[in-house]
A and B are shown apart, each in its own frame.
Chain A
Amino acid sequence: MRDDKLHAYLDGELDAAASLELEREMTQSPALRASYERLRELSAAVRENADYHAAPARFKAGTRKPRTWMLAPAFALVLLAGIALGMFLAQPRDTDALGADVVASHVRATLAGRLTEVASSDQHTVKPWLSARLPFSPPVADLSPDGYALVGARLDYVAGQSLAALVYKRREHVIDVFVSPGARDAAPSAYTRDGFNVTRFARGGMRYWIVSDLNRNELDDFARLLAR
């Protein structure tokens, strides 16, 4: 038990009376004093040498830097998909940081094979699942009559905020629809990032980012259906 006291003393957790008592004991026992000194050295060695792992930038709000560690798998996927390098080089550099993060999220989910946390083609299952877990309730549209099957949804946390990610499929192409509250209505704008087609727009108090490797014509069609 005296050993535990040495640790508590080292950590500044011993009350004044017990500290004085221990200090008195240490002046009388060189062995106890030596034990304490070894403990202090060990603690200092840990503090000086142990790695401190700071969070990656994507966990911090308002970051605007490109995250190269995320672009690497994206790049591999681009090559696998056989998309021309020219497209990659021609991507526009827009200033929408969330736009970059949602593409990274799409790539991560695709690579990890974890697209959905709730797997359902039923909008009446998906919507309550999301509403129960988010501070907002995203609209969930059934677009299966138009050939875009709802397969489920997941939650995502990007640049300091939580998003809903609705997952649709057109043939074998995955379409991620990221939804977050805020912003005035904005007409769809389309661009390409890391070889993925992205469309973003705002409507009814919600912002949408649509990310997919689906061809641009069909994705535009999908965006029109979603925004209607």
Chain B
Amino acid sequence: MSSRARFEEQVLPHVDAAYNLARWLTRNDHDADDVLQDAMLRAYRFFDGLRGDARPWLLAIVRNACWTWLQANRPAELTVVDEAEADTPGPEAILARELDRRAVNQAIAALPVPFREALVLRELEDLSYKDIARIAGVPIGTVMSRLARARRLLSEILRPAASAPRLRVHK
């Protein structure tokens, strides 16, 4: 089988996951498109080096392309976030039934990049901590604390909207 045919068979089935990650990290279609274009070229170039599962392999390339792009274009988004575990109680009660798509999407988009990437890979791609650690290039313990932090931040962002009294609108 030719190299291109193997690439199409092994790598292209994961292009949706690749785009989803790029789209969540860049937060718009146009930039996600550019980053994925670049990442797919790199994937094609380094395809001979692929051992094992193509999915985390491709996502790691896409993730690195995203970070390179963010460093060049939006360095402020990568300024060091304090990852130390704050001594706060667990997630507040949120009324999941009252959450709409828009609120959830906005809340995820508002997360700092390292937490957003961990959450997207876990909740939307259903990847194991081990795969997420490999993709993000961090230890498994860091993945665990980033996920915990992401969920805590999410519940903080979502809680006021869900529990605040409805505004009266005077017509």
With beta carbons under 8 angstroms apart, the residue of A8, A43, A160 that contacts B151 is: A43
Q: Is B122 an interface residue (CB 8 A)?
A: yes
Docked CA distance A51–B101 (Å)? 8
- List the one stretch of A54-62, A142-150, A212-220 in contact with chain B: A54-62
Given contacts A54-B16, A55-B16, A135-B45, contact A7 B101 (CB under 8 A): no
Given contacts A4-B148, A38-B92, contact A133 B45 (CB under 8 A): yes
Type the 1/0 row for B89-127, where 1 means its CB is closer than 8 Å to any CB of A.
Answer: 111111010011101110010000000000110111000
Which residues does chain B contribute within 8 Å of A134, judged by CB atoms? 45
- B105 and A60 within 8 A (CB): no
Interface size on B, residues (CB 8 A): 50
Which residues does chain A contribute within 8 Å of B15, judged by CB atoms? 55, 59-60
Q: Is B135 an interface residue (CB 8 A)?
A: no
CB-CB contacts below 8 Å: B8-58 with A:
8, 12, 15-16, 18-20, 23-24, 29, 32-33, 36-37, 40-41, 44-45
Which residue of chain B is the closest to A12 with respect to CB atoms?
B128
- B144 and A51 within 8 A (CB): no
Docked CA distance A47–B154 (Å)? 13
Given contacts A39-B151, A46-B123, A47-B123, contact A56 B19 (CB under 8 A): yes
Docked CA distance A53–B124 (Å)? 10
* Minimum distance in angstroms from A61 CB to a CB of chain B: 5
Which residues does chain B contribute within 8 Å of A52, judged by CB atoms? 16, 20, 124
* Minimum distance in angstroms from A163 CB to a CB of chain B: 10
Docked CA distance A3–B20 (Å)? 29
* Minimum distance in angstroms from A111 CB to a CB of chain B: 11
Q: Is A91 an interface residue (CB 8 A)?
A: no
* Minimum distance in angstroms from B73 CB to a CB of chain A: 13
With beta carbons under 8 angstroms apart, the residue of A13, A55, A156 that contacts B19 is: A55
Docked CA distance A55–B24 (Å)? 12
Docked CA distance A166–B142 (Å)? 44
Which residues does chain A contribute within 8 Å of B123, judged by CB atoms? 43, 46-47, 50
- A54 and B44 within 8 A (CB): no
- B93 and A38 within 8 A (CB): yes
| Interface residue ranges, A against B (CB under 8 Å) | 3-4, 6-8, 11, 13, 35, 38-39, 41-47, 49-56, 59-61, 133-135, 155-157, 160-162
Could you show 19 A-B contacts with beta carbons less than 8 Å apart? A4-B144, A11-B122, A11-B147, A35-B90, A35-B91, A38-B91, A38-B94, A42-B96, A46-B119, A46-B123, A47-B124, A49-B101, A50-B120, A59-B15, A59-B36, A135-B44, A157-B40, A160-B8, A162-B41
| Interface residue ranges, B against A (CB under 8 Å) | 3-4, 7-8, 12, 15-16, 18-20, 23-24, 29, 32-33, 36-37, 40-41, 44-45, 89-94, 96, 99-101, 103-105, 108, 119-120, 122-124, 128-129, 144-145, 147-148, 151, 154-155, 158
Given A42-B151, A157-B44, 14 new contacts (CB under 8 A): A8-B129, A42-B158, A45-B96, A47-B124, A49-B104, A50-B104, A50-B108, A50-B123, A52-B16, A52-B20, A53-B19, A55-B36, A59-B19, A61-B12
